[in-house]
Amino acid sequence: MTLTSCHRVFRGLALPALMAIALAVPASSLSAQTAAQAAPASPPAADAPASPLTELRSTIGHAAAGDPQKPSAPQVAAVHQGAPAGSTAGTQGVAQQPPSAQPANSTVPKSFTEKALDKVKQVAKSAGDIFNRVPCLPPKGGAKSFGALPHVANKLASGLPVVIVAFGSSSTQGYGSSGPEYTYPNRLAAQLRRQYPMADITVVNSGIGGEDAPEMMKRLQTAVIDRHPDLVIWQVGTNAVLRNLDPTETAKMVDDGVAKIQTAGSDVVLVDLQYSPRVIERPERANTMIKLLSHIAELHHVGIFPRFEVMRDWHERQSIPINDFVISDGLHMNDWGYACFAQLLGDDIILSVGQVKLGVNLPTNVLTYRPM
């Protein structure tokens, strides 16, 4: 037999054999091999610096933050619902039910009460997850109450919408949090809506990083007063300490701002400095600013939330490492810090509103926290 003849015989036998082998290989093996080849190689963990969110999870164990790389079930479902008719791309692993398999009552709309209850349960779960490993406990020492909030209480009692403006700098804006939903104004809004599920409550985040009293006073009218809020939570003073601003001049501006807010018909709560390495390394300036803000609150009979003392209690009395509530820049809070701050601030607001509704005067020397 010639060489050409042998080649033809071999080709005639080899082709069917190769096809048989190809058919015998499981499709899942090919898919797995293809996926392995397509997947990008993981970067070496030792050389890559950890992101703020990674550091945050390793310290606190945030169940609420979730994994940004994995879409939730509703997100996946939304992708499939938006796919063109007849498209099969991206549908692997998603259970597809025929119309006949759907529950008979799936199209029955929920009542307003049921929707409100579902919303309360959802918010309560997300708020509780952040405190799984490090609970948010009330300060072990007493603190002076910031008094009543008549405008907010009257609005809630009358069933009218409530508007709260969170006014401040970067810790109001939420620098250091892993997402907008974990800032203190959004955490506070979730807590108040959980406490008053039938109320229409809006919390406006009007924080701009790097500002203090001089910059804030320039936008007080447009960012705060023109919104006609029932309550203004004004976080101020930290940047004045860091920038070595004259504390007396800062206090004069805050005093003027509080007077204007009150004249416009809003309740006011001042929030003083945060207890963090970059602030406590300037103890004299920090203490002076805290005392001035407390004096302004007393002078105008408005509330003050002692954030500095609350955060110091976390560290000194509850033995929580500073790195568990302050990010690596030594100044701003992380998700847990914002969540616990919002929780305790919200408890104070709820207590004050409850006292006004009941017509009972708050004691002047005791502050009772009721964390979730």
Has residue 100 got a pLDDT over 50? Answer: no
Q: Across the chain, what does the average pLDDT equal?
A: 74
8 A C-beta contact, residue 270 and residue 213: no
Q: Indicate the Cα dihedral angle 170, 174, 177, 182, nearest 10°.
A: 160
E strands in the chain: 162-168, 201-207, 231-235, 267-271, 303-305
Report yes or no: 341 and 307 within 8 Å, Cβ to Cβ.
Answer: yes
- Asked if the model's pLDDT at residue 77 lies above 70, the reply is no
Res. 134: pLDDT tops 60: yes
- Per DSSP, the residues of 35-94 read HHHHSPPPPPTTTSPPPHHHHHHHHH--TTT--TTS--HHHHHHHHHTSPTT--TT-TT-
Confidence of residue 282 (pLDDT cuts 50, 70, 90): very high
> How many residues appear in the chain?
372
pLDDT score, position 33: 42
Residues 330 and 244: their CA atoms lie apart, in Å, by 18
Question: What average pLDDT does range 112-123 have in this prediction?
Answer: 62
Structure confidence at residue 248 as a pLDDT band (50, 70, 90): very high
The single-letter code of the amino acid at 267 is D
pLDDT at residue 70 tops 60: no
Averaging pLDDT over each range in 177-186, 349-358, 360-369, which range is the top one? 177-186
Residue with the bigger pLDDT between 324 and 62: it is: 324
Q: What is the pLDDT of residues 171-203, one digit of tens each?
A: 999 999 999 999 999 999 999 999 999 999 999
In this prediction, residue 139 carries a pLDDT of 84
